[in-house]
C-alpha cells in the first residue's frame, strides 16, 4: 500500500515534465587502426572512424609511459581491442569503452614528442617527430640562444637536455633530461619568476644559456639556465605572477608544467549527458522496477534479461535521465546495448557472451557464402604491392572492423589470422603483371572491402623537383716588391766594354722571383774582367678571382630517393703485396641525392647529400704521378616550405702570407734597407655556399 502511494506521488511529481526524450544519435564507431613505420624518425598511427569525431582530449601519462586519447561519443567496432605494434617507439594500442566515451591508450617505449590532428573521418597521432619539424608545423620558431654563461659547479647528478613544448591546454611544458633518478627538485615562486632548483646537480655546459620561448604563446617568456654552488637553477620568467606550477618525474625525465592560475568558478562545461532532467527517489526497491519506471518516463522501449535482479536506493534531483540510467547500471554491475529505439539491459558477461556468439554465427555464415571472381585494374600503384597488403599478416599494421557480417581471414595461404586480413579464409589474390591487374576470388563483401582499400591507396603520388645551387668563389691577390743582388763569374768580356764601365740593360739572366715570369724585372749591372755584379728590381701586383656556379636538379615522387650526377673518373695505380699494380677509378662528380617527404601543410622534409668534386693538382706518389680531388660535400636533413630557398651551409677559408728575403743587417736599415730585401704578400680567400629550393609539382596529383 505504501509503495503504491509512493508510486502515485512520483507520477504526480513527474507529470510536470513534458515532451518525449529519445535516445541520442548513434556514437561514432572506430573501424580501423593503422600504423605507419615508413617515416625516418616517426611512427604515425591512423584511427579510422565511420564519421567525424565529435571531440577528443590527449594527455601523456608518465607511469606507465602512455599517450591517452579520450574520444567523446565514440565506441569501438574492432574485432579485438588490444594489439601489439612492431615499432621503435610504440609497444601496444589498447581500446576500452568508458560509458559513452572511448579511451585509447598507446603504450610507449619512452616519452617522445607527439602531435594529434584530425582529417575527415580519421584521427592521426604522430610520435617521435623532430622538434624542429614540430615547431614548424605549429608555426612556432625554435627556442634561440640569447647569451651564454660558464659552468661553475658540479654535482651528484647532471642535466643533459632541456626542451620546451606547448601543451594541449596552452600550458608550458619544460622537459628536463637527467643522468640518473637521484633528483631533488624544488619549485620556488618569486613574483613573475619561477625558480626550479635542482639540488646537487650539474648542467651540460652547452645548456648554460637563455632559451627564448615567448613565441610559443604560453605564460612563459624565457628560461635562464645557470649553475651555482649548490646545484643547477632554471629561472623561468613568466608573463604574470598568477600562475600554477607542478612537476612530474619518471626515471631520468622531469616535466615541469606551468600554466595560468584558473579562477575558482562553477563548472560550466557542456554536460556529457543531454537527456531530459528528472528527479527520482527510490528506497530499497527492485532494480527491475526502477528501470521500468525510468523507461516509462522517457518513453523508450526496454528489454531486461532475467539476470537483472536485486534492490536499489537512489535519490536523483534534476539529473539527466541517461546519466541516472548509467549510474544505476554501474552500481549493479549491468550493461546496456541500444538497437534503434530499443534498450537492452543485462549482465556485462551475458551481453559479451551474446555478442561473441553472434560473431561466431556470422563466421559460419560467411564460410557458406559463394565465391566470386573480380578483376580490378590498378592505375597508379603496383598490383604486386597491393596484393602483398592483402596476403601478408598485417596484424601489426592494421586492425579492421568487420563489415557486412564478414570474417576477414587468411587468403591464398598467407598465414594470417582470420581477423588480420581483408580476405576471408577462402579468399585468394593474384596479379597479372603485364596489365597490372589484381585478380580477387572471395565473397562479395570481402571484395567490397578490397575495393575500398584500393580506392584509398591507388592514387597518384605527389612529385617534387629539387634544385641545388653550389657557389664557389676563389679570390687571390699577390704583391712582390724588392731588390735582388747577383754576383757571378764571367770569363767572357762583353763587346764594347773592355774597360769595365757601368752599363744598363734589360735583364738577360733569371732571378729567384715570382715577378720574373710576368715581366716585372729591371736589371742593372757592371761588367768587370771576370765578374758581373747585378741589381734586379722586382715589382708585381696580380689579382685573380674565379666564381663557379653548379646547379643540379632532379624530380622524384614523394618519399622516393633520386640521384643525379656528372663528372669524371680518375685512375690511380695501386701496388699489391705480390708486386702487381692495378688501376682503381675514383669518382670526382657533381651529384645530388635527395629523398623528399611532403608534410600535410605542403612543406617538404628533405634528406640530402650534395657533392661537388673537382680536379685538383698533380701530386707525386710512390707509384708515380696522380691527380688530387678537391672535395666539397654536404649531408643534412631539413624542412623547407614549397618554393622556398634555404641556405644549407657554407665554408669560408682565408690564407694570408707574407714572405721576406733580405741580407742580414743591411735589410733592416731604414729607407736604404729596401735595396737589400724582397717582400712578397699574398691574400687568398675561398668561399663555398650551398642553396636548396624544392617545388611541389602542381597537377601531379588530383587535389
Structure confidence at residue 404 as a pLDDT band (50, 70, 90): very low
Q: What is the pLDDT of residue 257?
A: 92
Q: What is the pLDDT of residue 519?
A: 42
Q: Is the pLDDT of residue 702 over 80?
A: no
352 DSSP assignment: H
CA-angle at 55, arms to 262 and 99, nearest 5°: 95
- 627-652 average pLDDT score: 85
β-strands 553-557, 463-489 pairing: antiparallel
Q: What is the pLDDT of residue 117?
A: 86
Q: What is the pLDDT of residue 126?
A: 83
Q: What is the pLDDT of residue 396?
A: 36
49 burial level (CB within 10 Å; 0-12, 13-18, 19+): buried
| pLDDT per residue as tens digits for the range 310-348 | 888 888 888 888 888 888 888 888 888 888 788 888 888
Which stretch of 340-354, 519-533, 635-649 has the lowest confidence by average pLDDT? 519-533
**Which of 33-47, 289-303, 363-377 has maximum average pLDDT?**
289-303
Q: Which three cell numbers stand for residue 479?
A: 704583391
Closest CA to 304 of 328, 279, 276: 328
- 51-68 average pLDDT score: 77
β-strands 157-166, 144-148 pairing: unpaired
Structure confidence at residue 485 as a pLDDT band (50, 70, 90): low
3-state class of 62 per DSSP? Answer: strand
Q: Return the half-sphere exposure (C-beta side, CA atoms, 13 A cut-off) of residue 636.
A: 15
Q: Which three cell numbers stand for residue 443?
A: 565473397
- How far CA 598 is from CA of 52, 70, 102, 202, in Å, comes to 24, 29, 32, 41
- 624-631 average pLDDT score: 79
Q: Is the pLDDT of residue 589 over 90?
A: no
Q: Which three cell numbers stand for residue 679?
A: 717582400
Q: How far apart are the first and last CA of the chain?
A: 73
| pLDDT per residue as tens digits for the range 121-135 | 888 888 875 545 544
Which stretch of 143-152, 276-285, 536-545 has the lowest confidence by average pLDDT? 143-152
Question: CA–CA separation, 381 vs 557, rounded Å?
Answer: 12
Structure confidence at residue 360 as a pLDDT band (50, 70, 90): confident
Determine which helix (DSSP H) or strand (DSSP E) holds 56, and give its type and residue range. Answer: strand 56-62
| pLDDT per residue as tens digits for the range 681-694 | 888 888 888 888 99
Q: Is the pLDDT of residue 413 over 80?
A: no
- 389-395 average pLDDT score: 59
| pLDDT per residue as tens digits for the range 266-289 | 544 545 777 788 887 877 888 888
Task: Collect contacts of 434-437 with beta carbons under 8 A, ≥24 apart.
Answer: 435/377, 436/377, 436/378, 436/379, 436/382, 436/383, 437/375, 437/376, 437/377, 437/378, 437/383
3-state class of 136 per DSSP? Answer: helix
Q: What is the pLDDT of residue 497?
A: 42
Q: What is the pLDDT of residue 154?
A: 39
Structure confidence at residue 237 as a pLDDT band (50, 70, 90): very high
Tell me the pLDDT of the chain averaged across its residues.
75
CA-angle at 307, arms to 303 and 310, nearest 5°: 105
Angle, helices 2-14 vs 287-298, to 10°: value is 30
Angle, helices 287-298 vs 321-331, to 10°: value is 160
Return all residues near 656 (Cβ < 8 A) that are at least 6 apart: 682, 683, 684
| pLDDT per residue as tens digits for the range 28-39 | 888 888 888 766
Q: What is the pLDDT of residue 140?
A: 45
Structure confidence at residue 223 as a pLDDT band (50, 70, 90): very high
Which has more pLDDT, 552 or 111?
A: 552
3-state class of 41 per DSSP? Answer: coil
Beta bridge partners of 576: none
Cis status of the peptide bond prior to 64, with omega within 30 of 0 = yes
Amino acid at each position: 500500500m505504501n509503495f503504491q502511494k509512493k508510486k502515485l506521488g512520483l507520477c504526480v511529481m513527474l507529470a510536470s515534465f513534458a515532451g518525449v526524450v529519445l535516445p541520442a544519435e548513434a556514437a561514432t564507431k572506430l573501424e580501423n587502426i593503422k600504423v605507419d613505420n615508413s617515416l625516418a624518425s616517426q611512427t604515425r598511427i591512423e584511427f579510422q572512424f565511420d564519421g567525424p569525431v565529435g571531440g577528443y582530449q590527449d594527455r601523456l601519462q608518465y607511469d606507465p609511459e602512455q599517450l591517452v586519447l579520450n574520444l567523446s561519443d565514440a565506441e569501438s567496432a574492432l574485432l579485438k581491442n588490444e594489439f601489439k605494434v612492431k615499432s621503435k617507439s610504440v609497444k601496444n594500442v589498447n581500446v576500452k569503452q568508458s560509458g559513452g566515451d572511448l579511451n585509447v591508450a598507446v603504450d610507449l617505449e619512452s616519452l617522445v614528442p607527439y602531435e594529434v590532428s584530425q582529417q575527415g573521418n580519421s584521427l592521426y597521432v604522430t610520435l617521435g617527430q623532430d622538434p624542429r619539424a614540430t615547431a614548424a608545423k605549429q608555426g612556432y620558431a625554435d627556442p634561440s640562444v640569447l647569451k651564454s654563461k660558464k659552468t661553475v659547479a658540479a654535482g651528484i647528478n647532471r642535466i643533459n637536455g632541456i626542451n620546451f613544448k606547448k601543451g594541449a591546454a596552452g600550458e608550458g611544458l619544460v622537459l628536463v633530461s637527467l643522468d640518473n633518478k637521484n633528483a631533488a627538485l624544488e619549485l620556488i615562486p618569486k613574483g613573475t619568476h619561477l625558480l626550479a632548483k635542482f639540488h646537487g646537480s650539474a648542467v651540460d655546459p652547452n645548456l648554460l644559456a637563455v632559451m627564448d620561448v615567448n613565441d610559443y604563446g604560453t605564460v612563459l617568456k624565457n628560461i635562464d639556465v645557470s649553475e651555482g654552488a649548490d646545484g643547477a637553477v632554471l629561472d623561468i620568467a613568466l608573463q604574470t605572477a598568477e600562475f600554477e606550477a607542478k612537476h612530474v618525474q619518471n626515471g631520468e625525465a622531469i616535466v615541469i608544467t606551468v600554466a595560468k592560475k584558473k579562477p575558482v568558478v562553477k563548472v560550466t562545461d557542456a554536460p556529457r549527458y543531454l537527456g531530459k532532467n528528472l528527479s527520482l527517489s527510490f528506497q530499497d526497491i527492485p532494480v527491475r522496477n526502477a528501470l521500468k519506471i525510468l523507461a516509462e518516463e522517457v518513453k523508450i522501449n526496454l528489454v531486461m534479461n532475467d539476470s537483472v535482479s536485486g534492490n536499489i536506493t537512489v535519490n536523483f534531483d534534476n539529473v539527466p535521465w541517461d546519466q541516472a540510467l548509467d549510474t544505476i547500471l554501474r552500481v549493479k554491475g549491468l550493461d546496456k546495448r541500444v538497437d534503434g529505439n530499443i534498450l537492452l539491459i543485462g549482465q556485462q558477461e551475458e551481453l559479451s557472451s551474446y555478442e561473441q556468439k553472434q560473431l561466431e554465427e556470422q563466421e559460419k555464415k560467411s564460410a557458406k557464402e559463394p565465391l566470386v571472381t573480380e578483376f580490378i585494374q590498378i592505375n597508379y600503384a603496383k598490383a604486386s604491392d597491393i596484393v602483398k597488403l592483402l596476403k601478408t599478416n598485417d596484424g601489426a599494421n592494421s586492425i579492421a572492423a568487420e563489415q557486412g557480417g564478414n570474417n576477414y581471414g587468411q587468403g591464398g595461404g598467407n598465414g594470417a589470422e582470420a581477423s588480420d586480413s581483408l580476405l576471408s579464409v577462402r579468399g585468394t589474390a593474384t596479379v597479372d603483371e603485364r596489365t597490372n591487374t589484381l585478380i580477387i576470388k572471395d565473397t562479395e563483401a570481402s571484395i567490397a572491402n578490397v575495393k575500398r582499400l584500393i580506392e584509398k591507396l591507388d592514387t597518384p603520388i605527389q612529385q617534387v623537383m629539387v634544385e641545388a645551387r653550389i657557389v664557389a668563389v676563389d679570390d687571390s691577390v699577390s704583391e712582390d716588391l724588392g731588390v735582388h743582388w747577383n754576383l757571378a763569374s764571367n770569363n767572357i768580356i762583353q763587346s764594347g766594354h773592355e774597360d769595365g764601365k757601368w752599363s744598363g740593360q734589360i735583364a738577360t739572366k733569371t732571378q729567384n722571383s715570382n715577378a720574373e715570369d710576368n715581366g716585372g724585372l729591371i736589371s742593372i749591372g757592371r761588367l768587370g774582367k771576370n765578374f758581373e755584379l747585378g741589381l734586379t728590381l722586382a715589382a708585381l701586383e696580380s689579382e685573380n678571382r674565379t666564381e663557379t656556379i653548379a646547379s643540379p636538379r632532379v624530380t622524384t615522387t614523394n618519399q622516393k630517393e633520386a640521384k643525379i650526377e656528372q663528372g669524371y673518373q680518375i685512375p690511380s695505380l695501386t701496388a699489391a703485396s705480390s708486386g702487381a699494380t692495378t688501376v682503381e677509378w675514383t669518382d670526382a662528380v657533381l651529384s645530388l641525392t635527395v629523398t623528399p617527404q611532403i608534410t600535410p601543410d605542403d612543406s617538404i622534409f628533405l634528406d640530402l647529400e650534395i657533392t661537388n668534386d673537382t680536379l685538383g693538382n698533380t701530386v707525386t706518389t710512390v707509384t708515380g704521378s696522380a691527380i688530387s680531388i678537391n672535395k666539397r660535400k654536404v649531408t643534412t636533413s631539413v624542412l623547407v616550405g614549397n618554393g622556398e630557398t634555404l641556405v644549407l651551409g657554407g665554408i669560408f677559408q682565408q690564407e694570408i702570407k707574407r714572405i721576406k728575403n733580405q741580407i742580414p743587417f743591411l735589410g733592416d736599415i731604414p729607407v736604404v734597407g729596401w735595396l737589400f730585401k724582397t717582400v712578397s704578400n699574398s691574400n687568398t680567400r675561398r668561399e663555398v655556399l650551398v642553396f636548396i629550393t624544392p617545388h611541389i609539382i602542381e597537377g601531379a596529383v588530383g587535389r
